[in-house]
Structure 1
Amino acid sequence: MIGSKSPRLVLYVPHKPNSFDELTERPNIQTLIANNTNHWRKIATLLAKICSPDLENWRQFRDSRLLESSAISINPTLCNLESRPWHWIGGKDNQRRFSYLQHNALPLESCENVAVDRRKQLLFTPYPDYRQLDNAVIIEIRRALETGGFYSGT
Structure 2
Amino acid sequence: MRALGDTESATTLLYLPTPPIIDTGTPLSYSRLCELNGNHWRKILIILAKLQTTESTWRDYRDEQLLRQHEAIVFGDQLLTGHQLHIVAGKASWLRLGLDLQHFTPMEASGRLFRRENIILTPYPDYRQFPNALIDQLRPVIQAFRSGG
Tell me which interval the TM-score lies in, with the shorter structure as reference length: 0.7 to 0.9
Regions of 4+ moved over 4 Å: 100-104
Over aligned residues, Cα RMSD in angstroms?
Answer: 2.5
Q: Which runs of 5+ in 1 are unaligned?
A: none
Identity of aligned residues (%): 33
Cα distance change of structure 1 residues 103 and 3 upon mapping to structure 2, 3 Å threshold: farther
Superposed counterparts of 1:96-115, under 5 Å: 96-99=95-98, 104-115=103-114
In the alignment, is the contact (CA less than 8 A) between 1:53 and 1:151 conserved in 2? no
Q: Which runs of 5+ in 2 are unaligned?
A: none
Aligned pairs, how many? Answer: 144
Cα distance change of structure 1 residues 102 and 136 upon mapping to structure 2, 3 Å threshold: closer
Report the TM-score when normalising by structure 2: 0.84
Report the TM-score when normalising by structure 1: 0.81
The one-letter code sitting in structure 2 at the alignment partner of 1:6 is S
Match of 1:143 in 2: 140
Which structure is richer in relative contact order (CA contacts within 8 A, separation 6 or more)?
2
Superposed counterparts of 1:113-132, under 5 Å: 113-117=112-116, 119=117, 121-132=118-129
Cα distance change of structure 1 residues 145 and 95 upon mapping to structure 2, 3 Å threshold: same
Match of 1:91 in 2: 90
In the alignment, is the contact (CA less than 8 A) between 2:52 and 2:142 conserved in 1? no
Superposed counterparts of 1:54-65, under 5 Å: 54=55, 57-65=57-65
2:77 equivalent to 1:76: yes
